[in-house]
Structure 1
Amino acid sequence: MMFRKAISLLLVVFAATTVRAQEIAVPGSVTVQPAAIEIKHQRHPHTLQVLGASVDGFALDLRTQAKYASADPKIASVDAEGWVRPIANGSTQITVNVAGVTKTVAVKVQLPPTEPPMSFRHEVMPVLSRGGCNSGGCHGYSLGKNGFKLSLRGADPDLDFLAITRDSMTRRLNFQSPETSLLLSKPAGDSPHEGGVRFARNSLSYEIVNKWIQQGAPGDLADKAEVVSVRLLPDKLVLKPGQKHRVQLIAQYDNGVSRDVTRLGILTANNNQYADVEGEGMVVAGDPGETAIVARFERVFAATSVMVLKADAKFTATPAPQDSFIDKHVIEKLNRLKITPSPLANDEEFLRRVHLDLIGIQPKPDEIKAFLADKDAKKRDKLIDTLFARSEFIDHWSLKWGDLLQNSRTSASQPSVYLFREWIRGAVSSNLPMDEFARKILTARGGAADDPASVYFAISKDTNDTLERATQVFCGVRMLCARCHSHPLENWTQADYYGLASFFNQVSIRPDIRAPQGVQNAKFIQLNLAVGNSGNPRSGRPQPPKFLGGDEPKLALNVDRREAYANWLTTPKNPFFARGLVNRYWSYFFHRGIIEPVDDIRSTNPPINPELLDALTKDFLDAKFDVRHLMKRIITSATYQRSSIPTASNKHDEQNFSHTIPRRIPAEALLDSLIQATAVPENFPGAPAGFRAAQLPDANSENAFLRLFGKSQRMEACECERDNGSNMLQALHFLNGKAIQARVVNPNGRAGILAREKKTDQQVVTELYLWSIARHPSDAEMKVASEFLKRHSERRAEAVQDLFWVLLNSRDFMLVH
């Protein structure tokens, strides 16, 4: 009996040990970050990240399992969680032991002779930000809350210091009894507070504010040290659902100080379905998927990617191709995600897709048959060059740039709009390099007859509108928020905004007195070279020109400052221009950009595949901003040519390009394809007969179909102006709308012609399929359709119309797939 009890107890212990061993995976590798630490302040301890990777690729947080020892505890101590604290000046090292691996970290301590007082700017302000006290919903609101106003998200430390220490006779601070100060008692929950508890009494935040008040609330506004960057460690994580992993936030100051600010930074997840952040940097994995952890400290941002995957021992990695850097980076990412890509699309699927994406119209039956009959292994590559030479290519891409540049009779005269349109068409036709394209637009002057590109400035409401449009289109960056306050999701300030404005504020717009009588809205762009810089409302002083995220250039007086902006914009070293264009063009061939939205590039919206975006950008620069080179590079990749039919492992993937995600055809391409399929033209008011929707000069078209299907109105420099979504009204329009019905039943249309021709049922079915959805019917489809025509042979014309109507209402016609 005793023996059986002992065996039972041993089995329980063994089972518990087994569970623990499964929970704590054996690392395949171990690293410690950072490799060296330099501490220059008594109150700024620094933690170590002990990172492991399991043999199947998952990240392991080994910090609490590791054993730490300081070579000289009189210089720096280290606790059981890896926090290194300074004791005295000197150098030592910390030894880290975990899973049989030993690592050392060099530590250098350089403390000032006396400990400086608490810093309002670098300690108290971060506490207020972390607690949300200066957010837009609290005291950062434009009118404040309950008589207490702080600058939005800590944009103005000087103002906040005065509001706390001087406003309302210093009622928020009690130097005799600091713990009863309203600045402490309200956020700690000791006094009634509409905002609730913002930090606990035993927290670092409470300790900082309490000690600052004890010291007499000293100011350090003369200390101009600024955070120049922050970074999250590790820079990427692969976790299992429910797994936890701590991240670390490091701030780098312009005086050379590097500081661990994990406990004072603001860390959030872009999508908390896949991961969330608890406490002081603890990432908790959720459902399988991918998101970014975004960190903010002193108005500077950083992000790290988090993948959440289920372990899959049966997964077989796809070999990464070496002949295409696009496929290489996509496949490497898919392998990390344990996703198998779909196979390549067949020739018919590829042919239709590339026609719609490159020239905005479906292939005709003769083109389909010829392509299928072509046995050349390079026929897909050669097709791209053929489509580049088509007039529809010019129509299609001129339309896109007309949208982005907002060329519209709403803002400019009709002759000006036509001249600008022809200028854009000329640039597309000649494959004008994108750096020259941007430069010609941004430095244009005169009237439309002198320089059609000057219409770009004529469209702007004012200088602010110009800088916002230019930055959004040519940099992929949205600056509107920074007009009034620091950007809530990026490092841009009002100095950045009005620094950009100073490049453009020499531009003035006046009526073009040379315009013929009766021409409305004709404008002339002139420069006032002597005009001063734009005023910065925050500083109350003129703001010198300032490159976005860069320096204030030294410019001579009375020069066109736009030239300096164009030089900066188009230099290969510019971090925005080539990258933004590559991302935008990628989105035109897929369902999304590598960064999405494509015109909202920021550090808190990281690319889904940064290696891919970097490689594409380098290739675009090497090709001297040749956009056709970029298009061909994308289209010839296996990534673009993949089928839209998902595999078992990629059916839930909508962002890593493992298969083609079907997308609705844009309004103009849909209408032009409908016209071609039915052989019934559209009459556009004011346009010559035979005009295609893609050839319309602007959005001022009285066409209900185009409006319903989301044609851009060219009111904003944003891809979001075009609505490529689907809705019930669109479905009803195809089912019952006159535009569809009239085309289908038109006796001189496609269905009428085929019904009268002496063709077999199978031939008619094939022609209907080729004209409507640009592919041959399957055997099953042929059987059903031909039997339908045979059953209704006595009313053949109507039966052909019914079949055609069904095909035009199918997803195969409406979608790029």
Structure 2
Amino acid sequence: MMKYLLGLMMSVASVVAAAPPPVVPSANRRFQDRETRVVPDFQRHVVPLLGRLGCNSAKCHGSFQGQADFRLSLFGFDFAADHAALVAEATTEEGMRISADAPEQSLILLKATAQIDHEGGQRFKPGSWEHHLLLRWIESGAKGVEAQAVASTEVVQQTQFSPQGIRFFEQKIEPLFEKNCYECHGFNNRKGNLQLKTRELLLAGGDSGPAITPGDPEGSLLVQAVRHRSPDLRMPPQRKLADGQIADLEAWVRMGAPWRSRPVASAAIEAKVLVQLHCEPQEILFSAAGDSRAIRVVAQWEDGRHEDVTCLTRFRSNDDAVVTIDAKGLAHAVGPGDTHIVAFYDNGVLAIPVLRPYSKNQSVVSLPENVNPVDRLVLGKLSKLGLRPSALCDDAEFLRRVSIDVTGTLPAPDEVTAFLMDDAADKRERKINELLNRPAYAAWWTNKLCDFTGCSPSAFGEQTVLEVGHGYSTQWYDWIHRRVASNMPYDQLVAGIVLAQSRGPDQSREDYATEMSSYVRQESPADFSLRKTMPHYWTRATVSEAKDKALAFAHSFLGIQLQCAECHKHPFDKWTQSDFSDFTRFFEDLTARGRMGFPAFAAAQRGKIVNWPELSVGKGADKTLGLLRSGQVTIAAGEDPRAVLMKWMREQDNPWFARAFVNRVWAGYFHVGIVEPPDQFTPANPPSNPQLLDWLTRGFLDSAYDMKWLHRQITRSATYQRSWKPNATNRQDRRNFSRAIPRRIPAEVIYDAMKQATAATEQLDAVRANLKRRASGHLSMRMAGTHAMKVFGKPARAINCDCERVNEPTLLQAIFVQNDPLVRMRLADSGWIIQIEEAVAAGRAVGEKELVKQVWLRTVNRLPDEDEIARAVKHLASVDSIVEGVTDLMWAMLNTKEFLLNH
């Protein structure tokens, strides 16, 4: 009996232990009653409520200048600043924003309930739960985060300033600093060790001493600097402030440099930590338009507390054509498809999948046992959506598509006919392997890697003559090309960029100058691509500041965008300014010394030995930094922080490094990423097929970062080889890979394709093989910024965004192909048409049908059907000469969608 009871007790204990934690009811229930004694929490309740109401949005008080002298941090998360703004004395005669003596007369309540004039209109009704929550918070002392989170936090006593002085600072001086000074002297940058974000930092000053002396404009370095009277002391360095702005700054210092009062302690450190958001349901499956489903969001905090925060959560639909969501978290089905509803609360972002099938009958496709896992995972998603995949494309479509995607090259006419005549079952797989072993594969995918890493002749500074930029960018291209051609593992290729050094450990400056000069000399130049590392990524003028390096690094190697977090809490991601500041500090000791001018570069070309810019990694000091919320790392003095980053990226569970590359390669083949846009890895933009991305990433890691493994897995799949022709179910699908999406071929490929299509027969192989003269190869560096490349969307690689490359058709492109001198020149100088002209002049027979076939094979890479042959032959018979007729046909085919699109 005792054993039985003991066993029963243990069983009950285990059940109790496994029971879900209690959930605190939602705020709209707890604050429904005016008489509630519950005390709202500033971080958990007040700030999220202001966010849901839109108070801290960019259109209201979260804007750069605020509204009506009241400014909140954009999207909330600077709790100290928001609390200070709320409790500060209002600068109007309407009253106090927060009135401790008469809480119900607080402006935050009177304006939001429209009891007095409010430009933002009524945000909630008097007597509502929102009204009760804010009123109860005010009645309870209107405490901020720092007072509640850390009992020992002290607020340093600051000089008390008049309301007029604080208003002058907020209206005149703070906007001036933000617009003109914070880029160099904000929290994320501190040129000359000077920061201007707080009054204490201004008084502490930088390398030259205190920036201001309150009450004494003439003795303040900052005032002297903005006057631009000394060439060695100018702020901002490139331009002078307006006279009125300088006068405002002088008046402010004369007033004693008033500043808004706020706690010195960092609110970001003291803030409560949100562990995770949970949602119910975890996925929504609608069956018809008009269906609705309520969403419940529960916040899990580090202290173990679980609270229903649905009423404090902001919701957004990623596609209103599929589902809409109201402020209460009620989702409404609209049209068929799939998307996500995104929930935002505190620093949490949670995406909830939403699906509504395109057809009532789920698609069932029988799969062979040896099916490509890519197809199994794609078909699994299609089945849930009732999507039937398109059939496989025909052989001609496949050859053209895979040739363009893998090598950036059209197939040759003889290659097309040979492939069509091949009856072997494995001919597609053999062709894929053949293409991956061609030099054009390395050339084209090097070009793509140069897109991602920002290789541009103009990136080395406005003062650098373009010839110098071409020299640097060509070396950059060559260095990557050698590694792609040898199929170096991707992580090793990236390590050669990330950990790049200018000089070797034992290399003298003289030896370094000799080495670098040898790469550009015109006679017998040395091969830069043989260098172990490639430092040009870090020596660009466009990444001279630590913040620029951080932004470029995150985009190039992690596929994430951090720009928003530079100034405020990221609206659709978890990044805060503190996260961005920490990440920036990984690069603050990495500098490029010197710039290469054209005279020195030209001298090196003539064989002279000249000095070259050098990448320097400073010694720095011991520092512990947060690594994009992946934990903290300690970097010892003298340790290269980039080595820490590279080690972290190579960790098997790194959330971005391998996944970002896999996704970009996938997007290169499908014109849409599994995460789309491909450089927007955020919780608010989850993968359309998470299992597919996970499988490809795991396989890529298991293959030791083998890039060709990844290309093979994708191109061998039936998913890649599907026709563009839709069926009744998948016509509207553009994100689940049920069919090929026709897309305009890239700028470089169009340029080369026109050249190839018009080349003489015996020159075809040479035109295709001479990668030094191909826009999709080595010539891409020289062609950057040319008219043809701009028209067809080749990126200038000037910004950190994959969106810079534009592959969408435009009216200007149509005009270009019809009338541009480049197109007319290609036709007028066509080696093939000249051959026809010579044959006609010599009296040799030219078969009209064969000529028509060649036009089609050269342009759209297939044989014409009988109707097309008949119409083309009829045209040839209607013109004065066969040469004129063939020229007309070539021009017409170059203008077809079939030529301009990859399908």
Q: TM-score, normalised by structure 1?
A: 0.81
Letter in 2 for 1:236: E
Match of 1:130 among 16, 39, 52: 52
Bigger mean CA deviation after superposition, 260-269 or 413-422: 413-422
Q: Give the equivalent residue in structure 2 for 1:710.
A: 793
Letter in 2 for 1:806: A
Q: Give the equivalent residue in structure 1 for 2:620.
A: 530
- Where do 5+ consecutive residues of structure 1 fail to align? 1-34, 47-82, 86-113, 534-543, 683-687
C-alpha distance in structure 2 between counterparts of 1:689 and 1:621, whole Å: 31
Q: Give the equivalent residue in structure 2 for 1:360.
A: 408
Question: Aligned pair 1:351/2:334, yes or no?
Answer: no
Question: Aligned pair 1:774/2:864, yes or no?
Answer: no
C-alpha distance in structure 2 between counterparts of 1:668 and 1:311, whole Å: 40
Q: Give the equivalent residue in structure 2 for 1:234.
A: 281
C-alpha distance in structure 1 between counterparts of 2:349 and 2:399, whole Å: 44
C-alpha distance in structure 1 between counterparts of 2:496 and 2:281, whole Å: 43
Q: Is the CA contact 1:45–1:84 (under 8 Å) kept in the aligned structure 2?
A: yes
SS at match of 1:419: helix
Q: Is the CA contact 2:622–2:637 (under 8 Å) kept in the aligned structure 1?
A: no
Q: Give the equivalent residue in structure 1 for 2:123.
A: 198
Q: Is the CA contact 2:359–2:387 (under 8 Å) kept in the aligned structure 1?
A: no
SS at match of 2:474: helix
Q: Give the equivalent residue in structure 1 for 2:806.
A: 723
Q: Give the equivalent residue in structure 1 for 2:739.
A: 659
C-alpha distance in structure 2 between counterparts of 1:679 and 1:392, whole Å: 18
SS at match of 2:303: coil
Q: Give the equivalent residue in structure 2 for 1:149.
A: 71
SS at match of 2:354: strand
Report how far residue 84 of structure 1 moved: 12
Q: Is the CA contact 2:39–2:136 (under 8 Å) kept in the aligned structure 1?
A: no
Report how far residue 235 of structure 1 moved: 2.4
Letter in 1 for 2:399: L
C-alpha distance in structure 1 between counterparts of 2:781 and 2:111, whole Å: 57
Q: Give the equivalent residue in structure 2 for 1:615.
A: 695
Q: Give the equivalent residue in structure 1 for 2:536.
A: 455
C-alpha distance in structure 2 between counterparts of 1:183 and 1:360, whole Å: 60
C-alpha distance in structure 2 between counterparts of 1:185 and 1:319, whole Å: 65
C-alpha distance in structure 1 between counterparts of 2:783 and 2:872, whole Å: 41
Q: Is the CA contact 1:403–1:717 (under 8 Å) kept in the aligned structure 2?
A: no
SS at match of 2:142: coil
More helix by share: 2
Q: Give the equivalent residue in structure 1 for 2:39.
A: 117
SS at match of 2:299: strand
Letter in 2 for 1:231: H
C-alpha distance in structure 2 between counterparts of 1:731 and 1:238, whole Å: 43
Q: How has the CA–CA distance of structure 1 residues 709 and 119 changed in structure 2, closer, same or farther, with 3 Å as cutoff?
A: same
Question: Aligned pair 1:693/2:779, yes or no?
Answer: no
Letter in 2 for 1:214: E
C-alpha distance in structure 2 between counterparts of 1:703 and 1:174, whole Å: 63
Q: Is the CA contact 2:88–2:97 (under 8 Å) kept in the aligned structure 1?
A: no
Report how far residue 234 of structure 1 moved: 1.9
Q: Is the CA contact 1:247–1:283 (under 8 Å) kept in the aligned structure 2?
A: yes
Q: Give the equivalent residue in structure 1 for 2:178.
A: none
Report how far residue 706 of structure 1 moved: 2.1
Report how far residue 321 of structure 1 moved: 5.7
Report how far residue 404 of structure 1 moved: 2.1
C-alpha distance in structure 1 between counterparts of 2:55 and 2:30, whole Å: 30
Q: How has the CA–CA distance of structure 1 residues 479 and 316 changed in structure 2, closer, same or farther, with 3 Å as cutoff?
A: closer
Q: Give the equivalent residue in structure 2 for 1:324.
A: 372
Question: Aligned pair 1:439/2:495, yes or no?
Answer: yes
Matched residues, percent identical? Answer: 33
C-alpha distance in structure 1 between counterparts of 2:311 and 2:335, whole Å: 26
Report how far residue 159 of structure 1 moved: 2.1
Letter in 2 for 1:150: L
Q: Give the equivalent residue in structure 1 for 2:456.
A: 408
Bigger mean CA deviation after superposition, 747-756 or 344-353: 747-756
C-alpha distance in structure 2 between counterparts of 1:641 and 1:288, whole Å: 25
Match of 1:744 among 827, 838, 841: 827
C-alpha distance in structure 2 between counterparts of 1:671 and 1:219, whole Å: 61
Bigger mean CA deviation after superposition, 769-778 or 506-515: 506-515
Structure 1 segments, 4+ long, off by >6 Å, are 512-515
C-alpha distance in structure 1 between counterparts of 2:393 and 2:732, whole Å: 19
Letter in 1 for 2:855: L
Letter in 2 for 1:626: D
C-alpha distance in structure 2 between counterparts of 1:343 and 1:357, whole Å: 20
Q: Is the CA contact 1:746–1:752 (under 8 Å) kept in the aligned structure 2?
A: no
C-alpha distance in structure 1 between counterparts of 2:786 and 2:734, whole Å: 33
Q: How has the CA–CA distance of structure 1 residues 232 and 321 changed in structure 2, closer, same or farther, with 3 Å as cutoff?
A: farther
- Where do 5+ consecutive residues of structure 2 fail to align? 1-17, 150-270, 461-467, 504-515, 517-527, 605-609, 765-769
Matched ranges for 1:234-313 at <5 A:
234-239=281-286, 240-309=288-357, 312-313=360-361
SS at match of 1:358: helix
Question: Aligned pair 1:789/2:876, yes or no?
Answer: yes
Deviation by residue 1:674-716 (Cα, 9 ceiling, x = unmatched)? 111101799xxxxx99711122252555743222212221212
Report how far residue 673 of structure 1 moved: 1.2
Q: Give the equivalent residue in structure 2 for 1:807.
A: 893
Q: Is the CA contact 1:713–1:721 (under 8 Å) kept in the aligned structure 2?
A: yes
Q: How has the CA–CA distance of structure 1 residues 788 and 220 changed in structure 2, closer, same or farther, with 3 Å as cutoff?
A: closer
C-alpha distance in structure 1 between counterparts of 2:871 and 2:796, whole Å: 43
Letter in 2 for 1:677: A
Matched ranges for 1:199-218 at <5 A:
199-218=124-143
Letter in 2 for 1:441: I
Pairwise CA RMSD: 2.8
SS at match of 1:356: helix
Deviation by residue 1:435-471 (Cα, 9 ceiling, x = unmatched)? 1111111110116666551011011232211111111
Question: Aligned pair 1:39/2:86, yes or no?
Answer: no
Q: Is the CA contact 2:560–2:679 (under 8 Å) kept in the aligned structure 1?
A: yes
SS at match of 1:186: helix
C-alpha distance in structure 2 between counterparts of 1:155 and 1:693, whole Å: 47
Q: Is the CA contact 2:451–2:797 (under 8 Å) kept in the aligned structure 1?
A: yes
Q: Is the CA contact 1:179–1:210 (under 8 Å) kept in the aligned structure 2?
A: yes
C-alpha distance in structure 1 between counterparts of 2:495 and 2:690, whole Å: 27
